[in-house]
A and B are shown apart, each in its own frame.
Chain A
């Protein structure tokens, strides 16, 4: 299906309807508050999506994809988020799936794609290392040939969701000759393989997202290499622009704005609803205006995507501002809540807090802390600025 003004409304309604019928209200509530919904709920939701043919809409149809154009895909994501659907399986659906379809062998595709779709496999991304962050090409984890296997040694860090995963797609060094980028290969590693150990790395406010993995003479079949030896860099790069467009996060910001507006009627400043306070109103107007501009910018990007097939470095503009808009909204919510933003996530578990603090306060502070991360990951804000300088401003 391709989107035009005539059927867009109907498509949006169809998604809204699907969410209303299939989404557990508790799951919706949690995702509206920006909270994780739990592994069991994610699996259940993905199973429903797969049954509806929506489990991996961006994939080729023969692997369970939808055949939609980019615009339709974008509207799908936007509408899903707007109705409180949890974000499912980024690594499975948005990363390893497209990579295998573009670069995998028929055997790799037949083995891995159905399991990625059903969530039998849970993937994580092993790119970063303690010494290789923004300068990813300096990575040191090495894979040496031994017959039909590679022997992998080294360490990967900041692996999001690694503790929930059973497979990792990984960048490893297979050559020290020539350009650093030209000595990197792309490997698929079963995390049950002997020689792998891991430890959790907690976020500063306590959440467990990150992990570190250690590889000690781990045998990985050469058949698990995607693409040619030393061609891993380009495979990893091919995803980035797409990833940045879809991480403009205007939908999350819209949700936060709704929360801020609801709170502004309940929270009082000097005895009057905050919405009547001139200082607060001016701040709220700033947040509204910058989000509106971001939404218009996102629609412009979408138009270009349809016209030209890509948006190039404009994706960096969207990522940079999309994250800032989210961060400022989080800050505004916490500031408005004042002392009600004190209780930590754990304080909400038994429900007693609800008698004292509005539900809208839940996860407000943690969301602010969590949103420091996207500014560092996926090419930090500074990396985006460098892309803009080089590829748009031609300095």
Chain B
């Protein structure tokens, strides 16, 4: 498979740019903030263009665009600061729902594809970082249904979701349940994260759900989560790539125009070499994200998973470095919300806090390679 963007991909990039511009033009101006695309307008636009869920298989209402389309989309969104919600609102739930053949799941997927965010995935639990293999949340058989009890932390897009996909211990395995947000015994506590996005903590106290709410049974739950989080990490790596590209572009533009000591900062070799090194790091990230996209497109193999782990390990490291350097090379104005270049560091941090640190993904890569032998 090729690395260079195909004509279709270049077209998608153009469509995305137009949608982002339009959503920015229609966003209300807020004093003291850099202008940003309005996320609702953006999702609606991308949904109607068929881009938002176009990466999903046709059977699930997508366009079979696969990992390459997801990469193009996430990277493009990463270039422009906006609360897009792609990973929590579309990738995670989409990957899980599309893996089932149930009509209610496909109905929800159709809404995802249109740019709505009806479903949030509630998997992480307090004090366990990224280990979702052993949830404390428990599903107990109760008549012809189940009773769910437990706490789920850091649920992306959880504040506005209509339905949660909740993982819970179910006998010897882990199952995934569809739980409506308004269920008796379910409390949803929204909170803001450091990048300005809104999340939620969820507490289930003996929430009663019918048997049919068990979307994925105890034998397949962990595999479904693993797959969904692999795809989420891939999308996050692609988003980071876009974010790094944008941060560097903005920084270069500033170095060209800002004058000190009677000369543009761009003439100072100490600064030139710093940005040259960032460029090299970003090229390596780009190469690995492309490699992971092509490996995933060939099938969900151990190699593809380790390529994703490698991409995300680089993304976390590079996103952090580029985010810090972009601020520093701007001087004091880099610290301001009004300029907004600091968004890239905020976002790099949130993606890594949420999906895993560089160390986490390196350990994953090692385990995957050992199991492949």
B residues less than 8 Å from A289 (CB atoms): 288, 310, 313-314, 362, 365
Q: Is the CB–CB distance between B3 and A299 below 8 Å?
A: yes
Q: Is the CB–CB distance between B273 and A382 below 8 Å?
A: yes
Which residue of chain B has its CB nearest to the CB of A289? B310
Segment with Cβ contacts to A, from B60-68, B167-175, B205-213, B277-285: B277-285
How far, in whole Å, are A304 and B2 apart by their CA atoms in the complex?
10
**7 intermolecular pairs with C-beta atoms under 8 Å apart:** A281-B362, A285-B313, A289-B365, A297-B284, A307-B4, A384-B276, A393-B279
Task: Please classify the interface of chain B as helix (H, G, I), strand (E, B), loop, or mixed, using the class held by over half of its residues.
Answer: helix
Interface size on B, residues (CB 8 A): 33
Given that A317-B280, A385-B272 are contacting pairs, would A293 and B285 also be in contact in the complex, using a CB cutoff of 8 Å? yes
How far, in whole Å, are A388 and B313 apart by their CA atoms in the complex?
25
How far, in whole Å, are A299 and B276 apart by their CA atoms in the complex?
21
B54 close to A (CB within 8 Å): no
Given that A284-B366, A299-B3, A395-B266 are contacting pairs, would A293 and B287 also be in contact in the complex, using a CB cutoff of 8 Å? yes
Q: Is the CB–CB distance between B275 and A395 below 8 Å?
A: yes
Which residue of chain A has its CB nearest to the CB of B365? A285
Q: Is the CB–CB distance between A389 and B290 below 8 Å?
A: no
Given that A282-B359, A288-B365, A289-B310 are contacting pairs, would A296 and B291 also be in contact in the complex, using a CB cutoff of 8 Å? yes
B321 close to A (CB within 8 Å): no
Task: Please classify the interface of chain A as helix (H, G, I), strand (E, B), loop, or mixed, using the class held by over half of its residues.
Answer: helix
A345 close to B (CB within 8 Å): no
B252 close to A (CB within 8 Å): yes
A residues less than 8 Å from B366 (CB atoms): 281, 284-285, 288
A292 close to B (CB within 8 Å): yes
Instruction: Please provide the chain A residues from 65 to 94 with a CB less than 8 Å away from any CB of chain B in the complex.
Output: none
Per-residue CB contact flags for chain B residues 307-342 toward chain A (1 = under 8 Å, else 0) read 100100110000000000000000000000000000
How far, in whole Å, are A285 and B4 apart by their CA atoms in the complex?
27
A290 close to B (CB within 8 Å): yes
Residues of A at the B interface (CB closer than 8 Å) are: 281-282, 284-286, 288-290, 292-297, 299-300, 303-304, 307, 314, 317, 320-321, 382, 384-386, 388-389, 392-395
B129 close to A (CB within 8 Å): no
Q: Is the CB–CB distance between A392 and B279 below 8 Å?
A: yes
How far, in whole Å, are A314 and B283 apart by their CA atoms in the complex?
9
Q: Is the CB–CB distance between B272 and A297 below 8 Å?
A: no
How far, in whole Å, are A117 and B366 apart by their CA atoms in the complex?
45
Q: Is the CB–CB distance between A385 and B276 below 8 Å?
A: yes
Given that A297-B287, A321-B280 are contacting pairs, would A389 and B365 also be in contact in the complex, using a CB cutoff of 8 Å? no
B363 close to A (CB within 8 Å): yes
Min distance, Cβ B372 to any Cβ of chain A, angstroms:
12
Q: Is the CB–CB distance between B363 and A388 below 8 Å?
A: no
Q: Is the CB–CB distance between B255 and A395 below 8 Å?
A: yes
B353 close to A (CB within 8 Å): no
How far, in whole Å, are A307 and B256 apart by their CA atoms in the complex?
32
How far, in whole Å, are A307 and B2 apart by their CA atoms in the complex?
11
Contact of A293 among B4, B269, B272, B288 (CB under 8 A): B288
How far, in whole Å, are A319 and B273 apart by their CA atoms in the complex?
15
Contact of A296 among B256, B276, B290 (CB under 8 A): B290
How far, in whole Å, are A91 and B77 apart by their CA atoms in the complex?
48
A residues less than 8 Å from B290 (CB atoms): 296, 300
Given that A303-B2, A303-B4 are contacting pairs, would A285 and B276 also be in contact in the complex, using a CB cutoff of 8 Å? no
Given that A282-B363, A289-B314 are contacting pairs, would A395 and B4 also be in contact in the complex, using a CB cutoff of 8 Å? no
Q: Which of A285, A294, A300, A392 neighbours the largest number of chain B CB atoms within 10 Å of its CB?
A: A285
